[in-house]
Each structure stands twice: as C-alpha cells, then as structure tokens.
Amino acid sequence: MVNQDRSWLSEMATTQAVESALRGYIERVAALLGLDSGSASCEVAEWASGYIALARRLPRWPDHDVALPRDQRHGWAPAV
C-alpha cells in the first residue's frame, strides 16, 4: 500500500484561511478610509502582505501615487 501523504492539503487549507482573513482585514481598512475593495489586494507567500492604493496624492509629490502597503514584519507604512 502506498503512503498517501496529504499534509499538503492541510497546508493549502491553512494558507487559504490566512489569505481569506487577511483579505477581509485589508478590505475593512480600505472601507474605513472610504475606499472600495478594488483598491485593496493581499498575498500570502513567504510573508503575508497587503496593499491599499489611496485615491489622493500628496501636495509635495503631485505626480506620484500614494499607497498603504502592509506586511507581517513591519505593519502599515505609507509609500509614495
């Protein structure tokens, strides 16, 4: 009888659960900022990370986009 290691199923389910929870969190933060979920994204790879594109630009950098990236090591940090 062949040993059928199904640990990958458990790992995939865990990754999907983490990504689903992270997506919900990122989308709630976007909603609190008055943005729709289309401005938010997330990924679970080596590190869990998320990104929210902001609709406004900063007066000092009017030609640059502004975003709020987040990773599990550093948390939220504004980026231009």
List pLDDT tens digits, range 3-59.
566 676 677 778 888 899 999 999 999 999 999 888 999 998 888 899 999 988 888
Helix (H) or strand (E) run with residue 32 in it: helix 7-32
Distance separating alpha carbons of residues 44 and 62, to the nearest angstrom: 32
Structure tokens of 55?
Answer: 């609709």
Question: Is 2 among the domain residues?
Answer: no
Average pLDDT over every residue of 58-63: 87
DSSP, res 15:
H
Pair 47, 76: CB distance under 8 Å: no
Domain, as residue range, for 20: 7-76
Q: What are residue 28's phi and psi, to 5 degrees? A: -65, -40
Counted domains in the chain: 1
Q: What is the value of pTM for the model shown?
A: 0.76
DSSP, res 48:
E
Structure tokens of 34?
Answer: 């008055």
